[in-house]
Structure 1
Amino acid sequence: MSDKLKVLAGLLVLAVLITLPFWLNAGKSGAAPEIVIAEAAKKAGNCVESKEWMAANHMALLDQWRDVVVREGKHIYVSESGQEFNMSLSSGENSCLGCHTSTAEFCDSCHDYTGVGTLYCWECHIDPSKENK
Protein backbone atom coordinates (compact mmCIF):
# COMPACT_ATOMS: atom_id res chain seq x y z
CA MET A 1 0.00 0.00 0.00
CA SER A 2 1.45 3.34 -0.99
CA ASP A 3 1.68 6.36 1.28
CA LYS A 4 -0.96 8.12 -0.80
CA LEU A 5 -3.55 5.43 -0.02
CA LYS A 6 -2.67 5.54 3.69
CA VAL A 7 -3.14 9.31 3.76
CA LEU A 8 -6.49 9.07 1.94
CA ALA A 9 -7.67 6.30 4.27
CA GLY A 10 -6.61 8.38 7.28
CA LEU A 11 -8.47 11.43 5.94
CA LEU A 12 -11.56 9.32 5.34
CA VAL A 13 -11.48 7.95 8.91
CA LEU A 14 -10.95 11.48 10.26
CA ALA A 15 -13.89 12.82 8.23
CA VAL A 16 -16.14 10.02 9.52
CA LEU A 17 -15.09 10.63 13.13
CA ILE A 18 -15.61 14.39 12.86
CA THR A 19 -19.07 14.10 11.30
CA LEU A 20 -20.24 11.11 13.39
CA PRO A 21 -22.09 13.23 16.02
CA PHE A 22 -24.06 14.95 13.27
CA TRP A 23 -25.05 11.62 11.70
CA LEU A 24 -26.03 10.08 15.03
CA ASN A 25 -28.22 13.05 16.00
CA ALA A 26 -29.82 13.76 12.63
CA GLY A 27 -33.54 14.48 13.05
CA LYS A 28 -33.44 14.26 16.85
CA SER A 29 -34.01 17.88 17.80
CA GLY A 30 -36.01 18.60 20.93
CA ALA A 31 -39.47 20.07 20.90
CA ALA A 32 -39.64 23.85 20.67
CA PRO A 33 -40.63 25.55 23.91
CA GLU A 34 -44.24 26.53 24.40
CA ILE A 35 -44.54 30.30 24.58
CA VAL A 36 -46.51 31.54 27.59
CA ILE A 37 -48.43 34.74 26.91
CA ALA A 38 -50.23 36.69 29.61
CA GLU A 39 -53.93 37.56 29.51
CA ALA A 40 -52.97 41.20 28.78
CA ALA A 41 -51.32 40.11 25.55
CA LYS A 42 -54.32 38.03 24.55
CA LYS A 43 -56.56 41.04 25.07
CA ALA A 44 -54.22 43.32 23.14
CA GLY A 45 -54.25 40.81 20.30
CA ASN A 46 -50.84 41.52 18.83
CA CYS A 47 -47.22 42.14 19.62
CA VAL A 48 -45.13 45.11 18.54
CA GLU A 49 -44.69 43.49 15.13
CA SER A 50 -45.70 40.12 13.67
CA LYS A 51 -44.71 36.93 15.49
CA GLU A 52 -42.38 35.87 12.66
CA TRP A 53 -40.74 39.30 12.46
CA MET A 54 -40.22 39.42 16.23
CA ALA A 55 -38.68 35.94 16.30
CA ALA A 56 -36.14 36.98 13.67
CA ASN A 57 -35.51 40.62 14.62
CA HIS A 58 -36.33 41.21 18.29
CA MET A 59 -32.72 41.71 19.32
CA ALA A 60 -32.13 44.36 16.65
CA LEU A 61 -35.36 46.06 17.74
CA LEU A 62 -34.34 46.03 21.41
CA ASP A 63 -30.90 47.42 20.54
CA GLN A 64 -32.54 50.17 18.48
CA TRP A 65 -34.94 50.96 21.32
CA ARG A 66 -32.08 51.17 23.81
CA ASP A 67 -30.21 53.65 21.62
CA VAL A 68 -33.28 55.79 20.89
CA VAL A 69 -34.42 55.93 24.54
CA VAL A 70 -30.98 56.60 26.01
CA ARG A 71 -29.55 58.92 23.35
CA GLU A 72 -32.65 60.70 22.06
CA GLY A 73 -35.02 60.47 25.03
CA LYS A 74 -37.89 59.12 22.92
CA HIS A 75 -40.09 56.45 24.54
CA ILE A 76 -42.81 55.65 21.99
CA TYR A 77 -42.43 53.15 19.15
CA VAL A 78 -44.95 53.16 16.30
CA SER A 79 -45.33 49.73 14.71
CA GLU A 80 -45.99 48.93 11.07
CA SER A 81 -49.69 48.71 11.92
CA GLY A 82 -49.60 52.23 13.40
CA GLN A 83 -50.06 51.13 17.00
CA GLU A 84 -47.96 52.87 19.67
CA PHE A 85 -45.87 50.92 22.18
CA ASN A 86 -43.77 51.96 25.16
CA MET A 87 -40.10 51.27 24.33
CA SER A 88 -39.46 49.39 27.54
CA LEU A 89 -38.74 45.87 28.66
CA SER A 90 -40.55 46.16 31.95
CA SER A 91 -42.36 49.47 32.46
CA GLY A 92 -46.14 49.20 32.20
CA GLU A 93 -48.72 47.03 30.49
CA ASN A 94 -47.67 48.19 27.04
CA SER A 95 -44.10 46.92 27.42
CA CYS A 96 -42.44 43.60 26.58
CA LEU A 97 -42.91 42.11 30.04
CA GLY A 98 -46.38 43.58 30.27
CA CYS A 99 -47.45 40.76 27.97
CA HIS A 100 -44.62 38.24 28.35
CA THR A 101 -44.69 38.24 32.14
CA SER A 102 -42.16 35.51 32.92
CA THR A 103 -38.63 35.81 31.62
CA ALA A 104 -38.01 32.14 32.52
CA GLU A 105 -40.98 30.94 30.46
CA PHE A 106 -40.52 33.36 27.59
CA CYS A 107 -37.01 34.76 27.11
CA ASP A 108 -34.92 32.08 28.80
CA SER A 109 -36.78 29.09 27.34
CA CYS A 110 -36.28 30.20 23.73
CA HIS A 111 -32.70 31.32 24.26
CA ASP A 112 -31.86 27.99 25.95
CA TYR A 113 -33.57 26.03 23.17
CA THR A 114 -31.72 27.85 20.38
CA GLY A 115 -28.42 28.03 22.25
CA VAL A 116 -28.15 31.74 21.52
CA GLY A 117 -26.29 32.59 24.67
CA THR A 118 -26.56 34.57 27.84
CA LEU A 119 -29.12 37.35 28.10
CA TYR A 120 -27.51 40.56 29.30
CA CYS A 121 -30.76 42.56 29.61
CA TRP A 122 -30.96 41.94 33.34
CA GLU A 123 -27.54 43.39 34.03
CA CYS A 124 -29.20 46.83 33.88
CA HIS A 125 -32.96 46.11 34.01
CA ILE A 126 -34.88 44.68 36.94
CA ASP A 127 -36.61 41.43 36.08
CA PRO A 128 -40.13 41.93 37.50
CA SER A 129 -40.84 38.19 37.53
CA LYS A 130 -37.92 37.71 39.97
CA GLU A 131 -38.16 41.02 41.83
CA ASN A 132 -40.16 39.82 44.86
CA LYS A 133 -38.62 36.37 45.19
Structure 2
Amino acid sequence: MSKKMYNKEQVVAGLVIFIALVSFPFWYNLGKAAPAPTLELTKEAKAAKVCVRPTEYMKAEHMQLLDVWRDTVVREGKRIYVNEAGKAFNMSLSNTCLDCHSNKAEFCDRCHNYASVDPYCYDCHIDNPKETK
Protein backbone atom coordinates (compact mmCIF):
# COMPACT_ATOMS: atom_id res chain seq x y z
CA MET A 1 0.00 0.00 0.00
CA SER A 2 1.34 3.31 -0.95
CA LYS A 3 0.57 6.44 0.99
CA LYS A 4 -0.78 9.28 -1.07
CA MET A 5 1.09 12.53 -0.37
CA TYR A 6 -0.79 15.79 -0.47
CA ASN A 7 0.52 18.44 -2.73
CA LYS A 8 1.62 21.62 -0.91
CA GLU A 9 -0.12 23.77 -3.52
CA GLN A 10 -3.44 21.97 -2.97
CA VAL A 11 -3.28 22.53 0.80
CA VAL A 12 -2.51 26.22 0.37
CA ALA A 13 -5.30 26.60 -2.23
CA GLY A 14 -7.75 24.86 0.11
CA LEU A 15 -6.80 27.15 3.00
CA VAL A 16 -7.17 30.26 0.83
CA ILE A 17 -10.63 29.14 -0.33
CA PHE A 18 -11.65 28.32 3.26
CA ILE A 19 -10.49 31.70 4.60
CA ALA A 20 -12.22 33.52 1.72
CA LEU A 21 -15.52 31.76 2.40
CA VAL A 22 -15.39 32.28 6.17
CA SER A 23 -14.47 35.96 5.89
CA PHE A 24 -16.87 36.76 3.03
CA PRO A 25 -19.67 38.26 5.20
CA PHE A 26 -17.21 40.64 6.85
CA TRP A 27 -15.55 42.06 3.77
CA TYR A 28 -18.77 42.04 1.74
CA ASN A 29 -20.45 44.36 4.28
CA LEU A 30 -17.40 46.51 4.96
CA GLY A 31 -18.37 50.18 4.95
CA LYS A 32 -22.09 49.50 4.50
CA ALA A 33 -23.21 50.14 8.09
CA ALA A 34 -26.08 52.55 8.42
CA PRO A 35 -25.31 55.79 10.21
CA ALA A 36 -26.48 56.07 13.79
CA PRO A 37 -29.85 57.79 14.13
CA THR A 38 -30.00 61.42 15.13
CA LEU A 39 -32.41 62.18 17.92
CA GLU A 40 -34.50 65.27 18.36
CA LEU A 41 -35.08 66.37 21.93
CA THR A 42 -38.57 67.26 23.04
CA LYS A 43 -39.46 70.76 24.27
CA GLU A 44 -39.34 69.45 27.83
CA ALA A 45 -35.82 68.06 27.41
CA LYS A 46 -34.61 71.30 25.85
CA ALA A 47 -36.17 73.28 28.69
CA ALA A 48 -34.59 71.05 31.35
CA LYS A 49 -31.14 71.62 29.78
CA VAL A 50 -29.66 68.85 31.91
CA CYS A 51 -30.22 65.12 32.04
CA VAL A 52 -29.72 62.81 34.99
CA ARG A 53 -26.16 62.19 33.76
CA PRO A 54 -24.11 63.65 30.86
CA THR A 55 -25.35 62.85 27.35
CA GLU A 56 -22.42 60.62 26.36
CA TYR A 57 -22.83 58.58 29.54
CA MET A 58 -26.55 58.19 28.94
CA LYS A 59 -26.04 57.07 25.34
CA ALA A 60 -23.72 54.28 26.42
CA GLU A 61 -24.83 53.36 29.94
CA HIS A 62 -28.52 54.23 30.37
CA MET A 63 -29.59 50.59 30.73
CA GLN A 64 -27.08 49.98 33.51
CA LEU A 65 -28.30 53.11 35.29
CA LEU A 66 -31.93 51.96 34.94
CA ASP A 67 -30.98 48.53 36.33
CA VAL A 68 -29.34 50.16 39.36
CA TRP A 69 -32.40 52.36 39.84
CA ARG A 70 -34.73 49.34 39.64
CA ASP A 71 -32.71 47.38 42.19
CA THR A 72 -32.39 50.36 44.53
CA VAL A 73 -36.12 51.15 44.45
CA VAL A 74 -37.32 47.56 44.74
CA ARG A 75 -34.76 46.16 47.18
CA GLU A 76 -33.91 49.19 49.30
CA GLY A 77 -37.03 51.33 48.96
CA LYS A 78 -35.00 54.41 48.07
CA ARG A 79 -36.52 56.59 45.35
CA ILE A 80 -34.22 59.62 45.10
CA TYR A 81 -31.11 59.67 42.91
CA VAL A 82 -28.58 62.48 43.35
CA ASN A 83 -26.24 63.04 40.39
CA GLU A 84 -22.65 64.34 40.46
CA ALA A 85 -23.87 67.94 40.32
CA GLY A 86 -25.98 67.40 43.44
CA LYS A 87 -29.35 67.54 41.65
CA ALA A 88 -31.99 65.10 42.92
CA PHE A 89 -34.15 63.01 40.60
CA ASN A 90 -36.96 60.55 41.21
CA MET A 91 -35.74 57.07 40.17
CA SER A 92 -38.53 56.39 37.70
CA LEU A 93 -38.46 55.49 34.03
CA SER A 94 -42.08 56.54 33.62
CA ASN A 95 -42.00 59.78 35.59
CA THR A 96 -38.43 61.01 35.17
CA CYS A 97 -37.04 59.74 31.86
CA LEU A 98 -40.32 59.82 29.94
CA ASP A 99 -41.06 63.37 31.14
CA CYS A 100 -38.38 64.64 28.74
CA HIS A 101 -38.18 61.73 26.31
CA SER A 102 -41.89 61.21 25.91
CA ASN A 103 -41.93 60.10 22.28
CA LYS A 104 -40.87 56.47 22.61
CA ALA A 105 -41.13 55.77 18.86
CA GLU A 106 -38.94 58.72 17.92
CA PHE A 107 -36.48 58.62 20.80
CA CYS A 108 -36.14 55.14 22.31
CA ASP A 109 -37.17 52.89 19.44
CA ARG A 110 -34.94 54.53 16.82
CA CYS A 111 -31.75 53.71 18.72
CA HIS A 112 -32.93 50.34 19.98
CA ASN A 113 -33.89 49.28 16.44
CA TYR A 114 -30.55 50.52 15.09
CA ALA A 115 -28.66 48.54 17.74
CA SER A 116 -30.96 45.50 17.28
CA VAL A 117 -31.85 45.32 20.95
CA ASP A 118 -35.22 44.55 22.47
CA PRO A 119 -35.23 46.00 25.98
CA TYR A 120 -37.66 44.53 28.46
CA CYS A 121 -38.51 47.90 30.07
CA TYR A 122 -41.86 48.09 28.35
CA ASP A 123 -42.88 44.62 29.47
CA CYS A 124 -43.90 46.36 32.71
CA HIS A 125 -43.85 50.08 31.90
CA ILE A 126 -46.43 51.49 29.55
CA ASP A 127 -45.24 53.49 26.53
CA ASN A 128 -46.66 56.82 27.60
CA PRO A 129 -47.93 56.92 31.19
CA LYS A 130 -49.10 60.54 30.81
CA GLU A 131 -51.80 59.54 28.29
CA THR A 132 -53.50 57.12 30.73
CA LYS A 133 -54.02 59.65 33.53
TM-score of the alignment, normalized to the shorter chain, above 0.5: yes
- Structure 2 spans left out of the alignment, 5+ residues: none
Residues 36-92 of structure 1 show CA distances to partners (whole Å, capped at 9, x for unaligned) of 32111101101111111111211110000000011111111111111111111112x
- Structure 1 spans left out of the alignment, 5+ residues: none
Instruction: Please tell me whether Structure 1 or Structure 2 has the larger radius of gyration of its CA atoms.
Output: 2
Contact 1:37 1:101 in 2 (8 A): no
CA distance in 1, matches of 2:128, 2:18: 50
1:42 alignment partner in structure 2: 46
Alpha-carbon shift at residue 129 of structure 1 (Å): 7.1
Alpha-carbon shift at residue 2 of structure 1 (Å): 3.0
2:35 alignment partner in structure 1: 31
TM-score (normalizing by structure 2): 0.86
| CA-atom RMSD in angstroms | 2.0
CA distance in 2, matches of 1:129, 1:22: 42
| Higher RCO (CA < 8 A, seq sep 6+) | 2
Matches within 5 A, 1:82-97: 82-91=86-95, 95-97=96-98
Q: How many residues align?
A: 128
Following superposition, which runs of at least 4 residues in structure 1 exceed 6 angstroms of deviation? none
